[in-house]
Structure 1
Amino acid sequence: MTSTSERPVDAAPAPGGRVRRRRGVQPWHLAAAALLLAVGALASLFIGVSDLTPLDLLDADESKATVFWASRVPRLVSILLAGSAMAVAGLVMMSLTRNRFVSPQTAGTTEWVGLGIVVATLAFGSTSVFGKMAIATLFSLAGTFFFVWLLRRIVLTDMIVVPLVGILLGGVVMAAATFLAYRFDLLQSVDAWMNGDFSGVLAGRYELLYLVLAATVVAYLYADRFSVAGMGESFAINLGIAYTRVVTIGLVIASVVTAIVVVTVGNIPFLGLVVPNIVTLAMGDNLRRVLPVTALTGAGFVLVCDVLGRTIRYPYEVPVGMIGGVIGGVAFIWLLLRARTRGVS
């Protein structure tokens, strides 16, 4: 048997407490991924209903320049910020709950945000987007901490049951939000808020997303602490980590990021679940090493979904949430089957 002192330096605890070694990801893999992301970003800038090419910008066409700077650039920035932040939020929740299938989408966090939006609209109908975001954040925090509190009081032997509990809880919360929305004729508004879509992103209507960049930086600074906390409370305390404080910070980051993204651009299904799983399967579970790659992969995932949504039915547009739901759903089923197969074997 290999003693603790003989473990490789880059080995890190998996969410279930098992140490996994780093897989073979070469620098050229990252360079290729960065190149693909750059190509996708370039395509995003020049794909849309309005015909726009780089030559139009060189010709100093004022109307084309207005479309570029007021619509295309804000849309690209919001895609990159939302995708990277939600992927990081899923990675943090996956590590802290020690379960590979826990994310803001499977813990009911996004549904709590939806309920917060409905309550904010009913109680403060004339409030600003920032006010709605603040109320949605409070609901998101309350729902996430309730989910964690619930997990600590339920004995579950199968890791797949944990996200099912969150999905059931989220379904109850969303049912309450839908009932309130139906009762006060807000169903269309709720659908618009909750469906991930970047078509309405314009200059002056996406700047709140810069807050998630700060949350992502904080998550990177606490990455090592999150890794240790993911090994369990007793282990973290023995290493001198303030376990409760670290877990609280991680859950606050995930909740705030989810609330900001949902309020600004809507919900993107499976993003915080699929991307962290794929990255950690390739690179291991050392959060400090995989967090930047997870952020880039999440941005690339949303970017690909957005480009597909704009080209499948051109000149019409399919919402990013729908494309992400289809792709993410297939990937989620693959992850479930893979986990079940490995568990049986």
Structure 2
Amino acid sequence: MLKLRFLLPLTFLLGITSIFIGVGNVSLSGLLAGRPEDWLLFTQSRLPRLLSILIAGASLSVSGLILQSLSRNRFVSPTTAGLEDSARFGVLLALIMLPAATGWLQTSLAIATTFVGALIFMAILNTLKHRDTVFVPLVGMMFGNIISAITVFFALQFDLLQNINAWLQGDFSSVLSGRYETLFLSVPALIFAYLYAQRFVLAGMGEDFATNLGLNYKRTLNLGLALVSIVTAVVIVTVGSIPFLGLIVPNLVALYLGDNLKLTLPHTAVVGALLVLVCDIIGRVVIYPYEISVSLMMGVIGSAVFLAMLLKRYRHGGI
């Protein structure tokens, strides 16, 4: 069994390694000697990039875990529930209606549209007669494609397609000091997710079951969806889409820890941060001095793991 005492030092070592990888030269000797150019690159680029990787990886993974708990489906995540597409639609609305809006205002509107998208997805989920494990995320992806089509249509009408495409690729190369701080909104969301973990489990059992145990079902559901919406929108606005992360990490952690949400949540956060960090490092060195975006690396890994999970389910009784 993987332990946090192993995962945390590994994440720390890889984080230190990532600071010294890149076209710009940052050396330990230069930092210790107080060389201005080394410290400038470290504080303005490398450290913000590392922090954004860790926060985005942890928060997206936890949001996927919350969604899976609330929907009682292992294949639901911000990617397969249309939430990332809803966030991009919110960014488009901000660009159309408030072209001079700050990043905080864009983020707020993206959070609002993501929350509405989450409510619509859960409403669709409640209307399904057959809530098959595979059928539910397929419905979510169709819902996301509808939102994406609407987004592209309006982006073409207002000549903003290139702006929207910028949010299709998760990429940390443009993360600089002063342009990533909105990610820190995810930290309180992670804390609330841990505090309300058991309530999310009960809410995932269904409204009748949760109500019989004295839980305010709708309030708990809305809180969970709000936390997921905040995290998804913040990551989309700041670094772009990172596909499948919220899908595969909770499933990988569940393989060795089971379904206890409060127990798996810290592991999910650390494994998610570690996975994004590994993908970022590989993307920076495989075709050095150029970079492969994290979204491409995660898309390859995530789609392979997703396909493996589908085939495993098919072999054990099926789709």
Fold shared, TM-score > 0.5 on shorter chain: yes
Counterpart in 1 of 2:49?
Answer: 75
- 2:210: which partner in 1? 236
Tell me, yes or no, if structure 1 residue 109 matches structure 2 residue 83. yes
Mean Cα deviation higher: 35-44 or 167-176? 35-44
1:50-199 correspondence runs (5 A): 50-199=24-173
Which residue of the partner structure matches residue 19 of structure 1? none
Residue identity in the other structure for 2:10: L
Return 5+ residue gaps in structure 1 as ranges: 1-24
Distance in 2 between residues matched to 1:166 and 1:316, nearest whole Å: 35
Mapped partners of 2:130, 2:28: distance in 1: 56
SS of 1:343's partner is coil
Amino acid in structure 2 at the alignment position of 1:269: P
Distance 1:68 1:86 in 2: 25
Which aligned runs of 4 or more in structure 1 are off by greater than 3 angstroms?
Answer: none
Instruction: Tell me whether 1:290 sits opposite 2:264 in the alignment.
Output: yes
Q: Unpaired runs of 5+ in structure 2?
A: none
Q: CA deviation at 1:157?
A: 4.5
CA RMSD of aligned residues (A): 1.3
Separation in 1, partners of 2:131, 2:233: 31
Q: Deviations over 1:142-184 (max 9, x none)?
A: 1110010011112124210000000011011101111111222
Aligned to 1:263: 237
Which deviates more from structure 2 when the two are superposed, residues 233-242 or residues 309-318?
Answer: 233-242
In the alignment, which residue of structure 2 is the partner of 1:6? none
Residue 253 in structure 1 maps to residue 211 in structure 2: no
Q: Which moved more, 1:89-98 or 1:227-236?
A: 227-236
Equivalent AA in structure 1 for residue 170 of structure 2? G
Residues paired across the two proteins, number: 319
Shift of residue 63, structure 1, vs aligned partner: 0.6
Q: Is the 8 A contact 2:248 2:302 kept in 1?
A: yes
- Equivalent residue letter for 1:44: S
What is the Cα deviation at residue 56 of structure 1? 1.3
SS state at 2:288 partner: coil
The CA deviation at 1:186 is 1.3
Mark the CA change 1:80 to 1:157 in structure 2 (over 3 Å): closer, same or farther: closer
Q: CA deviation at 1:78?
A: 0.6
Secondary structure in 2 aligned to 1:194?
coil
Partner of 2:305: 331
Partner of 2:166, secondary structure, is helix
Other-structure match for 1:39:
13
CA distance in 1 between partners of 2:221 and 2:317 (Å): 27
Report the TM-score, using the length of structure 2 for normalisation. 0.97
The match for 2:174 among 200, 218, 225 is 200
- SS in structure 1 of the partner of residue 129 of structure 2: coil
Shift of residue 60, structure 1, vs aligned partner: 1.4
Once the two structures are superposed, residues 69-92 of structure 1 have per-residue CA deviations (whole angstroms, 9 ceiling, x without a partner) of: 111001100111111000000000
The yes-or-no answer on 1:224 pairing with 2:198 is: yes
Range 138-147 or range 240-249, more displaced? 240-249
Task: Give the letter aligned to residue 297 of structure 1.
Answer: V
TM-score between both structures, scaled by the size of structure 1: 0.90
Query: Structure 1 residue 344: deviation in Å?
Result: 4.0
Rounded Cα–Cα distance in structure 2 between residues aligned with 1:86 and 1:344: 28
> Which range moves more in the overlay, 47-56 or 66-75?
47-56
Deviation at 1:243, TM superposition (A): 1.3
Amino acid at match of 2:253: V
Distance 2:224 2:252 in 1: 21
SS at match of 1:66: helix
CA distance in 1, matches of 2:5, 2:238: 31
Task: Quote how far apart the aligned CAs of 1:33 are.
Answer: 1.7
For the residue of structure 2 that corresponds to 1:267, the secondary structure is: coil
